[in-house]
Structure 1
Amino acid sequence: MKLAPTVKLNNGYEMPVLGLGTYNSKDNEGEAAVKHAIDVGYRHIDTAFLDTYKAMEKLVKLGLVRSIGVSNFNSEQLALVLANCEITPVTNQVECSPALNQKALTAFYKENGVTLTGYTPLGKPKPDIQKPDFIYSTEVAVIAKKYGKTAPQIVLRYLVGLGVIPILKSSNTNRISENFDIFDSELTAEEMAVLDGFHTGEGVVPLNLIKGLSHKYYPFAIEF
């Protein structure tokens, strides 16, 4: 069975560079999707902090958990964790796509031995209005044709090339298999630059889940 390439984490364990998201899966579709993903070769399944983080550290020390990470943390919040906790997070999960490529945050995390896991990497495609541009543009279509891939596959290859670990929500078995089939080629520097050109700094996931912009822990009021 073919498995995804891995990145070495700061605790010595390895993490696949592509994952399956399960957020908002209904009824038994999440279970079926995970089973198929494992059959295909996925080994990174996402299933959705200072006091909370320290509680997670105890689980590591008890041997109940191998690795712990954070989600939607900016650079200042990560620095706070690093300064006050014993175990460095292995990853931070944030929205990441060509439109919000998180290059600055990825670089900061790399300096501290932390990986960046990207959710919504395809930006919630809307075929009826041909959005987002990085999925439906002629430039990406040309690159996809060259490699015999789809535009979403090219986007995923781009993100992996940036050092991002994309996770994709899907319960469609064909799509799960297709998303995994990206490791037989690499984009050129020129092709990476084409995808860079879609960066606007704007995401598609509303963060009113954390009580909006006025919340004291809202993470995206600074550059990264």
Structure 2
Amino acid sequence: MSLSLNIPHVVLQWSSKQHNNMPVIGLGTASSPSPNDTKVAVLEAIKLGYRHIDTASVYGSEQPLGEAIAEALQLGLIASRDELFITSKLWCTDNFPHLVVPALNKTLQSLKLEYLDLYLVHWPIAVKPGNWEFPYPEEALASFDLEGVWKQMEECQKLGLTKCIGVSNFSRKKLENLLSFATIPPSVNQVEMNPTWHQKKLREYCKNKGIIITAYSPLGAAGTFWGSNDVLENELLKEIAEAHGKSVAQVSLRWLYELGITIAVKSYNKERMKQNLEIFNWSLTKDDYEKIDQVKQHKLMSNGPAKFVPDLWDEEN
């Protein structure tokens, strides 16, 4: 049975007269084992009730996601593409003003879609064209023209290629800079956030500015090259989970939801995908919050996609 009708949403302003409803929890598709795995997982997620799918050009998951959407329509799992909220991102090698619109058109071609619901600047870093090893060495970095890139992101929205625009991995200082010249402010800032990385100052800043936060790696991204088991193996979180008869993952996701954070959570396991949606009919206690406040804090994405960027986090890490 589909759970989609039970998933709350937040409202993203599209224009002065229009808005877009973003489900508070979406399926992440980073670090996919194979294109076929992604396609199968997305179809299963849609069956379970997911309506928000998060992808990016660098993930390699845009094409299989597009195939899954086409098949979901063919099978009648959704009545129209408009039932889905699709997010993708501009990669660092396209982080130049003249490449923004072409990059989004390429993304839409891969997805076989006419528009995105949300398009994000993936990182506040520009990388020169070339055959660079990942993570990128210092010599691969180019000057990042945020104002020029954002103007073209706004153009993408004006052209109807995406309903909303936003950023990812932006510090308060970088958001402040962006807001100083943006005609269309970012709807979303997608950042690492989980019980081992609370981001309290950034949460407060974004709330005051009306920017929705989406948490990536909400469970610590165990099994990825950047992740760890520190969330899922945390003893305090295990105590909370046991008290509620829930999993540590459900406790972590519920905590983010109660903070007003939206979530992109990656799992291609059917049962865990189902469990990740079962966070809306119970609540954490004051004691639970006190325990989560005691969890040791550390950032997973300390260097981002490059080996050395001196002001990447602006001392927020």
Taking a change above 3 Å as real, the CA distance of residues 176 and 157 of structure 1, as seen in their structure-2 partners, is same
> Which range moved further: 139-148 or 97-106?
139-148
Structure richer in strand, relative to its length: 2
Larger mean Cα displacement after TM superposition, 70-79 or 25-34: 25-34
Aligned to 1:64: 161
1:92: how far off?
0.6
Matched, 1:35 2:43: yes
Partner of 1:210: 306
Contact 1:93–1:116 under 8 Å retained in 2: yes
Bigger radius of gyration among the two: 2
Q: 2:23 aligns with which of 16, 26, 34?
A: 16
| Distance in 1 (alpha carbons) for counterparts of 2:196 and 2:281 | 24
Q: What are the superposed Cα offsets for residues 130-155 of structure 1, whole Å, 9 maximum, x if unpaired?
A: 941x4334432332233221111111
Q: Structure 1, residues 91-129: CA drift from partner, whole Å, max 9, x if none?
A: 111111111111110110011100111111111347xxx
> Is 2:218–2:263's contact at 8 Å kept on the other side of the alignment?
yes
CA offset digits 1:11-52 (Å, max 9, x no partner): 432221111111121231112211111221112211115322
Paired residues in the alignment total 216
Q: Does 1:189 align with 2:310?
A: no
1:45 and 2:46 correspond: no
1:96 aligns with 2:193: yes
Does the C-alpha gap of structure 1 residues 97 and 89 become closer, same or farther in structure 2, counting only changes over 3 Å? Answer: same
Partner of 1:114: 211
SS at match of 1:190: helix
Cα distance in 1 between the residues matched to 2:156 and 2:263: 26
Q: How does 1:138-153 map to 2 (within 5 A)?
A: 138-153=235-250
Alignment of 1:77-88 (within 5 A): 77-88=174-185
Output the CA distance in 1 between the equivalents of 2:287 and 2:10. Answer: 24
State the shift of 1:199 in Å: 4.3
Letter in 2 for 1:15: M
Query: How far did 1:222 drift?
Result: 2.1
- TM-score, scaled to structure 2: 0.63
CA distance in 2, matches of 1:153, 1:117: 17
Gaps (5+ residues) in structure 1?
none
Alpha-carbon RMSD: 2.1
Residue 176 of structure 1 and its aligned partner are, at CA, apart by 1.2
Q: Does 1:177 align with 2:278?
A: no
| Percent of residue pairs identical | 36
Alpha-carbon separation, structure 2, partners of 1:137 and 1:85: 41
Once superposed, which parts of structure 1, at least 4 consecutive aligned residues long, lie more than 3 Å away? none
Whether the 8 Å CA contact 2:173–2:314 is kept in 1: the answer is no
d(CA) in 1 for partners of 2:150, 2:162:
13
Deviates more, 1:115-124 or 1:42-51: 42-51
Question: Which amino acid in 2 is paired with 1:122?
Answer: L
For the structure 1 residues 138 and 199, does the alpha-carbon distance in structure 2 shift closer, same or farther, using more than 3 Å as the test?
Answer: closer
1:164-206 Cα distance to aligned partner (Å, 9 max, x none): 2221122222221111111111111221221121142x11234
- Structure with the bigger RCO (C-alpha within 8 Å, sep 6+) is 1
Asked if the contact 1:119/1:167 (under 8 Å) is kept, the reply is: yes
Aligned AA (2:165): I
What's the secondary structure of 2:232's corresponding residue? helix
TM-score (norm 1): 0.87
